Amino acid sequence: MGAKAGSSPPVVPPPASSATSFFPSINGLKLKTKQQELLIRVSILALVYVLAFAIRLFSVLRYESMIHEFDPYFNYRTTLFLTEKGFYEFWNWFDFESWYPLGRIIGGTLYPGLMVTAALIYWTLRFLRFAVHIREVCVLTAPFFASNTTIVAYFFGKEIWDSGAGLVAAALIAICPGYISRSVAGSYDNEGVAIFALLLTFYLFVKAVNTGSLAWALASAFGYFYMVSAWGGYVFIINLVPLYVLVLLVTGRYSMRLYIAYNCMYVLGMLLAMQIRFVGFQHVQSGEHMAAMGVFFLLQVFYFLDWVKFTLNDPKLFYSFLRIALTCAISVGSLALGVGMATGYISPWTGRFYSLLDPTYAKDHIPIIASVSEHQPTAWSSFMFDFHILLFLFPAGLYFCFKRLSDATIFIVMYGLTSMYFAGVMVRLILVAAPAVCLISSIAVSATLKNLTMLIRAKNNATPMGSSKGTASLKASAKASSFDQPLPYQRNVAIALLLGAFYLLSRYAIHCTWVTSEAYSSPSIVLAARGAHGGRVIFDDYREAYFWLRKNTPADAKIMSWWDYGYQITAMGNRTVIVDNNTWNNTHIATVGRAMSSYEDEAYDIMKSLDVDYVLVVFGGVTGYSSDDINKFLWMVRIGGGVFSVIKEPEYLVNGEYRVDKGAAPKMLNCLMYKLCYYRFGEVTTEYGKPPGYDRARGVEIGNKDVKLEYLEEAFTTSNWIIRIYKVKPPKNRW
């Protein structure tokens, strides 16, 4: 329109004039720019929402709609119980099927958020007359919440930067592998909903700080409540938020908004969190929660001083008051803390907390934490694997944040930096860092793209139309078209950079899809491998064994296995286990570890004292499945030895080396675990051209081929030998 009017009137060809006469009618149909933008934004968000859900369905397509891994099986079992028996039964549930003979108070030792969420979704769908199975609900809970997380990420991005950054953040987090790893369909774990709750709480809190509105602060308190109900990672919130408040105080950004937001969120959030039985009074009693309380009191002091300063209206008097007040406050605070610690009212930090702050702590003091692979320090490669380009965009985003510091950007910077540190300490905490990394990277992407497009657009219509640079180009255009030419090829470079950015982002998308489909969609209950002819071979041994237990053992049989398989045995095999993945009793686990690493006759006494009927071991020697019990065995020795000094780790090693072949330590060759894994394995030829008894997982010929069992007998071995179950024989009559 502008261009046509600008040209000189006498030489315009006639068709153009007819076009202008049409214009009003088309104009009437066209949406306003604002509406257009809204439409585009909403449709992008909707697409991202669907994408986040769809990419997580790889596991369902590749395998089936099933629950994955270990912990999700417990969650599934409890959800099933909740939907069948109702909430009060669930709350009062004492589980006889695990930790035999101790049992476990389920209601008081779990975070019920996930189960209640799934049950609510289930009941809602049932109410709406959708006859879904609870398993489907459980399988799809994590993707559903991942989709919701993208929406929260959008609003969060909008809050800290602008809606463009919000959109990018939503898109990035939708496919970020670091997040997908814990939220694929079937990964029915606390983290699935907890990341949503975490981000929601943070968003609402930042919103509350930005607006100073009680309503938002209240909402964030409820977000916090949901987070507490869902995952133990809430400790991160209750420490990060006070830290953030402290930083704001130190940098002189204290405001009434902050005061309102934090006080409301902390007080209400704490009271609400106390309603969760597993958390109870920890908010006032545990050392991990004391920072929040300290900052709460500090804020009151700040407010009080502000008021005194206002009423005194005399700087000199105020400073003397300040000195007295501060001394008093600090001494009272430290005294209270000291007394609390000394009397044991305030519990000290737990081992898990220590191991977070100090990566080497767990290795030396708590082998049971260190034995879990997801608690290992993160390797660079897994950072690259899980974040890809976000790893490089993250510092860039930090730069942009520092360039435009506000209360909100300070928050995201702190969230990003702390969570990155924790992600470095433990592999599984990459998950917590993922939203922060996505948000900060989205700022980098959005700001860069915006700058580049501005350059291109400004160049494009420098003459006819004002660019979005507004007043700057207004003045420039007054001087006709001969305005700024600051850099040669500026536009070309901008276009090249833009293309580069799109290339990187598309690589990111490709990488995420690949990672999701290849690495994170395996249920790890069902193993898949490529056959000799390129076909897919399924190893369904776990379920084979669990189903055998379920159908062909007495209903009250007690199964002894390493704790990794406890949840699966109770959920799928429906049998009582001695230990399971809820590692609350280290001694009990150590007893099992001791039994596994003792000679058969000693182990038999232990097993008799625990009423064990069956022993289950996981063995990968035939298939080459490497995460089996022989490879985990040193941890059993370590954990067993940590409690029972009769078990000594060096006895199982030869010159500090762990081996199972002829050169292995004699104790190793005759311990229960070795015998159970390799019973009659010496007669099997696993690989062509190798001697019988060749262990494919470790690539050696085993050292003790003539394993004789005296107190146990083979009860079942799965088709690929991955799981072997032995029956403990009854005592001989002579006793």
Partner 1 sequence: MRKVFACALFLLLATWMTTARSDLVISKVDRRIDLTSHIVRVLSTLKVENAGRVVVSEILLAIPNMQAKNLANLKAFYNEGKGKGSAINLPVAEVHPEGMPRELSFYSISLHEGLEKGKSLTVNVLSIFTHSLQPFPEEISQSDVQLVVYQDSAYYVSPYEVKSQSLNVLLPGGRVESYTKHPSGKLVDSEIKYGPYEKLPPFSYSPIVLHFENNNPFVVAQELVREIEVSHWGSIQITEHYNLAHKGATNKGGFSRLDYQSRSYMGGRSSLRQLIARLPPRAHSIYYRDDIGNISTSHLWGDSRKTQLEIEPRFPIFGGWRTSFTIGYSLPLQDFLFVSEGNRFLNITFGCPMDEVVIDDLIVKVVLPEGSKEVSVSVPFHTKQWHETKYSHLDIIGRPVVALEKNNVVPEHNTYFQVHYKFNNLSLLWEPLMLISGFLLLFVACIAYMHADLSISKSSASYIAKLQWDEVQATVQQVQNVIRRCLSAHEKLETSLQDLSRTGDVHSCKATRKIADGLLKELSKELKPLMGFLQSSPQAAQIWPKVEELVAKEKEMQEKLMQKHVAVVDCFEKKYSGREIENRVAPYQQKLSALKQEVDDLLDYIDEI
Instruction: Give me the least distance between CB of 15 and partner 1, in Å please.
Output: 12
Instruction: Give me the least distance between CB of 80 and partner 1, in Å please.
Output: 11
Nearer to partner 1, 374 or 714 (CB): 714
Nearer to partner 1, 540 or 649 (CB): 540
Instruction: Give me the least distance between CB of 64 and partner 1, in Å please.
Output: 4
Residue 309 backbone dihedrals phi, psi, to 5 degrees: -60, -40
Nearer to partner 1, 93 or 721 (CB): 721
- Give the residues across from 700 on adjacent strands: 695
Let me know how many helices (H) and strands (E) the chain has, helices first: 33, 11
Give residues with Cβ within 8 angstroms of 645, minimum separation 6.
none
How many whole angstroms from its chain centre is CA 139? 16
Strand segments, DSSP code E, in 594-686 are 614-618
Nearer to partner 1, 351 or 466 (CB): 466
Instruction: Give me the least distance between CB of 665 and partner 1, in Å please.
Output: 27
Q: How far apart are CA 498 and CA 453, in angstroms?
A: 8
Distances (CA, A) of 604 to 284, 537, 592, 712: 46, 37, 11, 8
Nearer to partner 1, 30 or 507 (CB): 30
Residue type, 458: A
Instruction: Give me the least distance between CB of 142 and partner 1, in Å please.
Output: 17
Nearer to partner 1, 518 or 713 (CB): 713
DSSP class of residue 560? E
Instruction: Give me the least distance between CB of 462 and partner 1, in Å please.
Output: 11
Q: How far apart are CA 670 and CA 667, in angstroms?
A: 5
Instruction: Give me the least distance between CB of 119 and partner 1, in Å please.
Output: 18
Nearer to partner 1, 65 or 513 (CB): 65
Nearer to partner 1, 12 or 102 (CB): 12
Nearer to partner 1, 213 or 583 (CB): 213
Q: How far apart are CA 466 and CA 291, in angstroms?
A: 53
Three-state DSSP class for 313? coil
Q: What residue ranges bind partner 1 (CB under 8 A)?
A: 2, 5-6, 8-10, 12, 14, 17, 20-21, 24, 32-34, 64, 66, 128-131, 464-466, 468, 470-471, 473-474, 477-478, 526, 538, 540, 543-544, 546-548, 550-552, 572, 680, 683-684, 713-719, 721, 727
Give the dihedral sign, CA 251/255/261/262: positive
- With b meaning 16 or more CB within 10 Å and e meaning fewer, what string describes 412-449? bbbbbebbbebbbbbbbbbbbbbbbbbbbbbbbbbbbb
Residue 531 backbone dihedrals phi, psi, to 5 degrees: -80, 180
- Can you read off the two tokens belonging to residue 659? 């081996």
- Can you read off the two tokens belonging to residue 704? 């003790």
Instruction: Give me the least distance between CB of 7 and partner 1, in Å please.
Output: 9
Instruction: Give me the least distance between CB of 94 and partner 1, in Å please.
Output: 24
Other Cβ atoms within 10 Å of 696 Cβ, number: 16
Q: How far apart are CA 600 and CA 311, in angstroms?
A: 81
Residue type, 421: Y
